[in-house]
Structure 1
């Protein structure tokens, strides 16, 4: 475990050249949100987009159902809206056109687990196989239902399960469920990483970032992070870093997932120093990110 106060053993982040523009720093496509009779999820994708922008991405696109796109943009006005049709065929066609101009994709925040969500995720994963992908929240839940085989196609994929999402994936992949001790959690993250050929960010107290046979355990953070939207911000941060770093393999994506996890944890710490351990909102957490990002080493331009 990294000693408290030390930065993680990951490669430096990409440079921020003085003559850079928003295209230089990449575009993140966030696919999520739902509007059904049972639920309406606006915050998840919006906070993921904010996390990506706060982590330095040049642009974030919110691909959400057209009935909630304006509501999402009220939460994240710096993002660009991409209203999606109820027709999966039309939505996928629109997303395929958009994928040509993005450098990273975040799939899942607030997406829901309907049959149409399953089909949408399957087809988007196939279409985005040459781009870095963060699979989070309901993106993981729909994969654990019917799409586990789709996890092995992307060159740089990051999974960000909380314990319940891990258990659902582990059950389908015949891996140990309900890991509790630190060693069990490390073994579980490594096993899921190997089975899915992905980077795994197993969230919890001491979040573990695993890729094949290497793992890093985050010893930073605060219980204040146990709040709605916190995981969406994390997915967005990792997506934003990948849009800038543009990893082509899980080995390269591991460094960015480690930094994203560390930035998220330290941002929660910094807020807690001023405010205590209760009452953190996702928007407050994202607002802490740029100051923490200053502490992360970068390559020279």
Structure 2
């Protein structure tokens, strides 16, 4: 398909500045992000994603997570409001009860992230299907198991709507499209563009080269980072960064582009300081505020010249 390709480098980021709050802005103006994540076996995914959303600049944080781990998540995130969601006897979230529990939160929410650390896939999909109609134009980022909402039923892409963003790696993309991974990695650019068109949402196909595509045919190539980013929890951090940028008011494509770039650059900084292998996903988010500040300062200096 015809596409408009862009290289996602420092110059592109400086020319595409993030929305910035006024000096007198309060936390409401910086946006509330809702992170729905975690399960009994992976409670840390909720913490990693939620922390990253705040590091990206979101003003308020609400985390919804299974009731069995909610106390631990709350103790790990003193900045957050934590809501425990009802589970059935198998430990699966109940979509309708979750929607009722979250009803009062959604009205003031600027962005929603669903999926990090959630199992099983079917329960995550049911939650997405119940949640999407209640969100209106609120941006929705689907990650991990929640992305399977695009697979179930012929009306899935239309039901999700144009404000949705997906962040699959190649294996997840193969699962979502029902195709062989080996075929997809031969042409990740075209794969991302076809998926964005098919699902009518922004798609960030992650890898050594990450391709971000829009339904309208724009795509961005990003090729920085290092192998140290291929570690447990790294994708949860990326999802949280993108969600935090969405909450600040960045459109989905911009939030994806900046999130991918900041995540990679955080990995580069840790590789220099800690080593190319062995730094932890939990360390990535703390690098992000300085990285954003440096890029903003470079953009300001360029304008002043």
Structure 1 and Structure 2 fold alike (TM over 0.5): yes
In 1, Cα distance between equivalents of 2:155 and 2:50: 27
**How far, CA to CA, are the matches of 1:279 and 1:149 in structure 2?**
43
In the other structure, the counterpart of 1:28 is 33
1:155, distance to aligned residue in structure 2 (A): 3.1
Q: Secondary structure at the match of 2:82?
A: strand
What aligned pairs does 1:94-243 form with structure 2 within 5 A after superposition?
A: 94-113=101-120, 115-141=122-148, 143-146=149-152, 149-152=155-158, 153-171=160-178, 178-181=183-186, 184-212=187-215, 213-243=217-247
Structure 2 residue aligned with 1:52: 53
1:295 aligned partner: 294
Q: Distance in 2 between matches of 1:162 and 1:76?
A: 27
Residues 190, 115 of structure 1: alpha-carbon distance in 2 compared, 3 angstrom cutoff: closer
Q: Aligned Cα RMSD in Å?
A: 2.4
Counterpart of 2:232 in 1: which secondary structure? coil
Per-residue deviation, 1:147: 5.3
Any gaps of 5 or more consecutive residues in structure 1?
Answer: 247-251
Answer yes or no: is the 8 Å Cα contact 2:14–2:296 preserved in 1. Answer: no
Closer/same/farther in 2, CA of residues 224 and 193 from structure 1, 3 Å limit: same
Structure 1 position 65 matched with structure 2 position 62: no
Count of residues in correspondence between the two structures: 286
Describe the shift of the 1:284–1:21 C-alpha distance in structure 2 as closer, same or farther (beyond 3 A): same
**Map of 1:88 onto structure 2:** 95
- Does the aligned pair in 2 maintain the 1:106–1:236 contact within 8 Å? yes
The alignment partner of 2:141 has SS state of: strand
8 A contact 1:50–1:79 mirrored in 2: no
The one-character-per-residue Cα deviations of 1:63-89 (angstroms, maximum 9, x if unpaired) are 001110122233333222011112433
In structure 2, relative to structure 1, the CA distance for the partners of 1:176 and 1:9 (3 Å cut) is: farther
Q: What's the secondary structure of 2:118's corresponding residue?
A: coil
Say if 2:95 and 2:130, in contact at 8 Å, map to a contact too.
no
TM superposition shift of 1:281: 1.3
What is the DSSP-based 3-state SS (H/G/I as helix, E as strand, rest coil) of the residue aligned with 2:142?
Answer: strand
